[in-house]
Chains A and B, each alone.
Chain A
Amino acid sequence: MKASRDAFCPKSRLTFLFSPAQIIFMHEFTLPIGPQHPALAEPIHFRLKVDGETVVDAEMHLGYNHRGIEKSLESRQWFKGVFLSGRICGICSQSHTATYSQGIERLANVTVPERGKYARTIFAELERIHSHMLLLAVAGHTIGFDTAFHYIWRDREYALEIMELLSGKRIQHDFNTIGGVRWDISEDQIHKINQNLDRIEQRAKHYYKIFTKDRSIRKRMKGVGVLSRKDAEEFGVVGPIARASGLRSDLRTSGYSAYSHIDFKPVLGSEGDCMERFLVRLKELRSSVKIIRDCLANLPAGDYKAKLPLVINVDKGKEATSRIEAPRGELIYYLKSNGLTPERVKVRTPTFANFSCVGKILQGTQVADAPITVASLDPCIACCDRMAVLDVNTGKEKILDHHELDHLFGKEHHHD
């Protein structure tokens, strides 16, 4: 990063006089954003090639948040690995534990009891609510509307309260385990949950009104960062972004967990601009509240987790994939067993898939619109830094397999 600084800043003491000329008369000027930047919650490096106030191209460098989790999972017993997978991301923690547990259940041929499935669904939708509210507030903050940020985060507390009630923690709940969930949902908890759900629903309606009617928000978001349906399909985007561009891509329709028992329709949009992406998420808030209410009303009796020993042994070489609709889109886990521990875990997070469209979506937007456009993609960089290496110079992508990982990290770096 040291080299990049000299590239942008005028070198001689007198050239400060020429900087405005540089910007006005030179054609291209590279604006660095990150890795340390108040706009970003997590470190990521963007290089925007700017012509005046219009973005001509965008380059992205990842890897600042790389923690070697896929490698660490290979040395942990199955049930311990679930805890680690939940710490890939703070916002979508439940999605990771659910997907990993689901994968292990497929490997070990474990059936989750019905009550466990419903509990997982309830928690997944709660997480969707909290994640969407977080993003809506961050979007408000990104366009300078701090009041919206504070209001929405206050109402997000209702969702976090329910999560603390059920699992004892507000983020990184460790709610899922192999074979079901770790704690039961009791009757008095259901009453409190319904109370909070009413409040969330009321506030979601209110924010929908604000987002659609407030003039300053509409001026910043309408028509900005358009991703056409064709581009969305070509770049393979997932989640609310795909749905806002008109693609009918929602994994919950495939009926994992309790979704097969619930009447559920994905929320679709048509415009594909920033405003549409946020409106899709606002509508999903209400849809999630409805799903949770349905689940609570029809919660079956029985066990909430399957009876399993602590340490499971799966046949070596057995493979499984597990897919779930995380708040940001489709989350895929590929597992290969090595007996007591996995031999390989590959995580494909939705943010990683969505990032492929950043260059296209930013082309032609103004510099001032770049942050809100990126924010509307809901980037979760912690989820993003996985084992794929993107060579910026040649543009080629290389996936490191575990031999190369061993070589890179060395077995001695890991204990227990």
Chain B
Amino acid sequence: MAVLSEGIKRIFRKPFTVKYPKQRPRLSPRFHGRLVWDKNKCIFCLQCQVACPNSVIRIDKEKKTYQADLNRCLFCGKCEEVCPVPEKAVRLSQDFELAKEKKEDVVERF
């Protein structure tokens, strides 16, 4: 009968469901979202490309382009970890809404 009394109490409380997309979920500061690269901070040491477990990052030093294939990304944060720049040229943001309509668009080209 413990379940019964608890159940009746819960009818009158607010449900625990986060009514997404009207309500946004609370994320921790360390949340691993979409990979974001800042061109101005990057020193092109290529450490993130070496450290990536899944070869997600491709950097072109001459053309100064940075490409991240989010199809294969583990969102592990190793790239952010090894970046020698103190403010982190590459980091994982809090953006989790990554769905795109075409597969090619999932590759982030900076």
Q: Show the binding face of A for B, using Cβ within 8 Å.
A: 76, 79-80, 83-84, 87, 147-148, 151, 154, 157, 161, 164-169, 174, 182-183, 206, 209-210, 213-214, 310, 416
Contact of B2 with A206 in the complex, beta carbons under 8 Å? yes
Contact of B76 with A174 in the complex, beta carbons under 8 Å? yes
20 A–B contact pairs at CB < 8 A?
Answer: A79-B51, A83-B53, A83-B54, A87-B74, A147-B3, A147-B7, A148-B3, A157-B16, A164-B27, A164-B31, A165-B30, A168-B30, A168-B32, A168-B77, A169-B31, A169-B32, A174-B77, A210-B3, A416-B54, A416-B55
Known: A79-B53, A157-B16. 8 other contacts (CB 8 A): A83-B74, A147-B7, A164-B30, A165-B30, A169-B32, A174-B77, A206-B2, A213-B2
How many A-B contacts at CB < 8 Å in the complex? 54
Contact of B50 with A166 in the complex, beta carbons under 8 Å? no
Q: Number of B interface residues, CB 8 Å?
A: 23
Please measure, in the bound complex, the distance between the C-alpha atom of A354 and the C-alpha atom of B26, giving whole angstroms. 38
Instruction: Take A83-B74, A182-B77 as given contacts and tell me if A167 and B30 are in contact as well, using a CB distance cutoff of 8 Å.
Output: yes
Contact of A164 with B53 in the complex, beta carbons under 8 Å? no
- Determine whether B28 belongs to the interface, using a CB cutoff of 8 Å to chain A: yes
Please measure, in the bound complex, the distance between the C-alpha atom of A161 and the C-alpha atom of B27, giving whole angstroms. 9
B42-67 near A? 1/0 per residue, CB < 8 Å = 00000000110111000000000000
**Please, which residues of chain A bring their CB within 8 A of the CB of B16?**
154, 157
Contact of B2 with A165 in the complex, beta carbons under 8 Å? no
- Determine whether B97 belongs to the interface, using a CB cutoff of 8 Å to chain A: no
Chain B min CB distance to A354 (Å): 29
Contact of B6 with A151 in the complex, beta carbons under 8 Å? yes
Contact of A310 with B82 in the complex, beta carbons under 8 Å? yes
**Please, which residues of chain A bring their CB within 8 A of the CB of B53?**
76, 79-80, 83-84
Please measure, in the bound complex, the distance between the C-alpha atom of A295 and the C-alpha atom of B56, giving whole angstroms. 37
